[in-house]
Each structure stands twice: as structure tokens, then as C-alpha cells.
């Protein structure tokens, strides 16, 4: 998902193209998604907010789908309809640079195990606060509020309907989903953490 305005970063560069340890955020995410064994087709979801990201996709030969930038859920619905994705669709934001293909394969495995139409990956709010990371988007699951990671799997056919979708969730404080970049402080903290992990 790479169509948002990225207003919280406060920089002229489109957030998917923001440099993280020397390469654009979206490149880190695409490397992870393309290395996942349980993911087949990959599409970058863009909008009129991210024309440079579209150009980056073209130059790399990546598939992309342009949506109307009406919000995450509307854009996801529009993208799945455009591409005619009626089965399981894994979504991931373009600002999750520590994610790995192994982690994504684990998420897909959990989705297959639960057998529901929707699986969300949530992060404990205190895990982000402990690292002084921003907590912007939150959601409730079984009476507890969590930070939203943006990693989800949804049945493409089910989200085109109007009824309630059966939901399951993974609660994780693993670095793969903990380091969601919404502010410059998030960027600074995440770069330090990823650097230290690479050294060890």
C-alpha cells in the first residue's frame, strides 16, 4: 500500500521513496515480499498522491494499481476489484522496512490455520512507546487496543460485500512489524535498530 500522502513525515519526498539506510523504504518491503515463498503476485497500490512512486515501479518493472486515495479500506477494496483478486490478499504498507519474507510466510501460515476471512497483525502499544516510536493508527481486538502494523490478509471476495467479516489476529512485538515509519523520529530510531541487528 503506497498511495498515502505521508503528511506526518513532513518532507517533500513521497514516503515510499524516503531513504532508509541508503535505499527507498518501498525497496526494503518489495525485497521482503518477493522473497516470501507463500506470496505469488505482487502489486504496489498507488494513487495521485504518489506519482514518483509509480515512476519508481515502472523503472523496476513492478506491477502497480492506481486507486482514488479515499482511505486504506476503500483503496484496498478498489485494488482487489481492479485486479480481480477474489482469494487471499496479503497487504503490507510501504513503510515497514524491517519486514522479512520469513515473517510474511508465517503470517500466511496463520491465516491458513485460522480459516477466517480476515487476519490482522497488531503490535502492543507499549512496545512502540518503549522505543519512543509514534502510535498513530490503533484498533481494538478482544477488548484490548493495539497499534496497527498494516500487515493484513483478507479474502478479496469477502471485502466486496457489506456484511461483517470474521476476524482473527496475531499480536506481535517482533521488529519486523514494530518498526513502522510515520515520523522522522520513527525513521531515526528504526535505522539505529536495524543497523545494530545487522552488526550482530
pLDDT given for residue 6 in this prediction: 66
Question: Does residue 53 carry a pLDDT above 80?
Answer: yes
Q: Report percent pLDDT > 90 for the chain.
A: 66
CATH number for the domain including 168? Answer: 3.90.550.10
- The answer as to whether 2 is a domain residue is no
- Asked if the structure places residue 6 within a domain, the reply is no
Q: What is the pTM of this model?
A: 0.90
Residue 177 belongs to some domain of the structure = yes
61 domain residue, yes or no: yes
pLDDT in tens, 59-106: 999 999 999 988 888 888 888 888 888 889 999 999 999 999 999 999
In-domain check, residue 31: yes
98 vs 136, higher pLDDT: 98
Q: Please check whether residue 85 lies inside any domain of the structure.
A: yes
Give the other-Cβ count within 10 Å of 187's Cβ.
22
- Where in the sequence is the domain holding 52, given as residue range(s)? 15-199
The answer to whether residue 9 sits within a structural domain is no
Residue 1 has pLDDT above 80, yes or no: yes
The mean pLDDT value of the chain amounts to: 90
3-state secondary structure the chain: CCCCCCCCCCCCCCHHHCEECCEEHHHHHHHHHHHCCCCCCCEEEECCCCHHHHHHHHHHCCEEEECCCCCHHHHHHHHHHHHCCCCEEEECCCCCCCCCHHHHHHHHHHHHHHCCCEEEEEEEHHHHHHCCCCCCCEEEECCEEEEEEEEEEEECCHHHCCCCCCEEEEECCCHHHHCCCCCHHHHHHHHHHHHHHHHC
Q: Is residue 172 part of a domain?
A: yes
The domain total for the chain is: 1
Amino acid at each position: 500500500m503506497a498511495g498515502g500522502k505521508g503528511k506526518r513525515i513532513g518532507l517533500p519526498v513521497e514516503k515510499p521513496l524516503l531513504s532508509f539506510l541508503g535505499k527507498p523504504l518501498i525497496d526494503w518491503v518489495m525485497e521482503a515480499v518477493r522473497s516470501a515463498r507463500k506470496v505469488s503476485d505482487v502489486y504496489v497500490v498507488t494513487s495521485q498522491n504518489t506519482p514518483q512512486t509509480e515512476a519508481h515501479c515502472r523503472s523496476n518493472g513492478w506491477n502497480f494499481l492506481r486507486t482514488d486515495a479515499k482511505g486504506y479500506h476503500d483503496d484496498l477494496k478498489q485494488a482487489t476489484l481492479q485486479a480481480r483478486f477474489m482469494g487471499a490478499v496479503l497487504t503490507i504498507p510501504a513503510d515497514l522496512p524491517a519486514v522479512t519474507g520469513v515473517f510474511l510466510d508465517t503470517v500466511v501460515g496463520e491465516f491458513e490455520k485460522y480459516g477466517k476471512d480476515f487476519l490482522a497483525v497488531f503490535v502492543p502499544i507499549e512496545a512502540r512507546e518503549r522505543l519512543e516510536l509514534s502510535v498513530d493508527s490503533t484498533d481494538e481486538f478482544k477488548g484490548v487496543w493495539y497499534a496497527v502494523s498494516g500487515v493484513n490478509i483478507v479474502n478479496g471476495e469477502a471485502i466486496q460485500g457489506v456484511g461483517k467479516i470474521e476476524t482473527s489476529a496475531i499480536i506481535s512485538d517482533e521488529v519486523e512489524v514494530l518498526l513502522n515509519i510515520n515520523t522522522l523520529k520513527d525513521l531515526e530510531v528504526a535505522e539505529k535498530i536495524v543497523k545494530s541487528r545487522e552488526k550482530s
